[in-house]
Structure formats: C-alpha cells, structure tokens
Amino acid sequence: MKEATLGYTDRDRASLAMTVALVSFAMLFASLFLTYAVYRVRSAMWPPMGFDKIPLTLPSISSAFILLSSFSFIRFQRRYEKKATNKTYYYLTLILALGFLFTQNQLWNYLNETGVFVESGTFASILHSFTWIHAGHVVLGMLALIFCLPALRKNKKDYSIRISNVGKFWHFLGIIWIFMYIGIFLF
C-alpha cells in the first residue's frame, strides 16, 4: 500500500528536515550566547581579571574567510541553477572553509601560548566552547560540501535540493560566526 504524500515534494521534506536541524543547532548556540551574556553582565571588568583582550587579527581573518566562503557558495549555487557548470566557486568555498579552520587553529594556538586554556576559568572555557563547537559544525559543513561533489559532473541528475540545504547550513554557520565575532571579540 502506497503512503499518501499529502502533496509534499522531496524538496519540502528535505527543507523541513534542514529547518529542524538548523533550529536545534540554533538552540545550542543560543544557550552558549546566553551563558556568555550572563557571565559578561555579572563580571565587574572585561575581560576578566588575569586575561588580556584578544587581538582582532585572527578573528577578523576568520570572519573574512567564512563570509567569502558563503558568497562563493551563493555563486556556485546560482551557476548550478542556471545549468552552468563552474567548479571554481565550489572549490573556492572549500578552500575558504579550510582557511577558516586554519585561522581558528592559529587562534587556539595563540590562546594556549597566552595561557588561556579550557581549564583557566569560566571565560576561557566559554571562549573555547564557542570556537570548538563552531569549528566542529564547520567540519560538518565541509562534509556536507563534499556531499555536493556529484553535482559537478557533466551528466548529472538534479542535485538542487542537496545544494540548497547545504547552502542553508553553510550560511547559518557564517551568521553564527558573525554573532560570535561581534559579541566575543569586538565588545
């Protein structure tokens, strides 16, 4: 017996699944932002005693990498929708994502060199939690980007649903990073 689909398409079901995933990820990051906000409001001085303000160089470079990767993915997606095969924007997105992870690694090295370890206190553990959890999601995003690789073949079936959902996830990661950059590193 065939199950009734109630008029929902594969695109509708895939979009709903991605929306549910993004909402759950948003709740994770919202709890981190709330923890950070409460801690920051209760702190008599900022950054807390014993910690220096983190230089903006590496977080700013990370921001540039993730924003540019989002724009390159948009270009890839638009070219795909127009049936124009262009691998350049796809590979550029992957390279920029790797650049983001590289600068995050440099940031963690800097934090370690300056004595800001996870166990160094609440400020350090929140900072590490934010950046490690986000980086983990970026790795997942890169795996999702690799999941789009079959769309680059010439004789391909339609991968627009896949590309659309990967794009939503990738742009979500960029938005979260910008909130982190503004909330943690700028202010």
Gap between the Cα atoms of 143 and 153, Å rounded: 18
Cβ contact 72:96 at 8 Å: yes
- Tell me the two tokens of residue 117: 């370890």
Q: Note the pLDDT tens digit of each residue in 122-173.
A: 999 999 999 999 999 999 999 999 999 988 887 677 899 999 999 999 999 9
- Sign of the Cα torsion 139, 145, 150, 154 reads negative
CA–CA distance, 46 with 81 (Å, rounded to integer): 48
CB 131 within 8 Å of CB 108: yes
What digits encode the pLDDT tens for the residues 12-65? 888 999 999 999 999 999 999 999 999 999 999 999 988 999 999 999 999 999
The CATH H-level (homologous superfamily) assignment of domain 10-186 is Cytochrome c oxidase, subunit III, four-helix bundle (1.20.120.80)
Task: Answer whether 0.85 is exceeded by the pTM.
Answer: yes
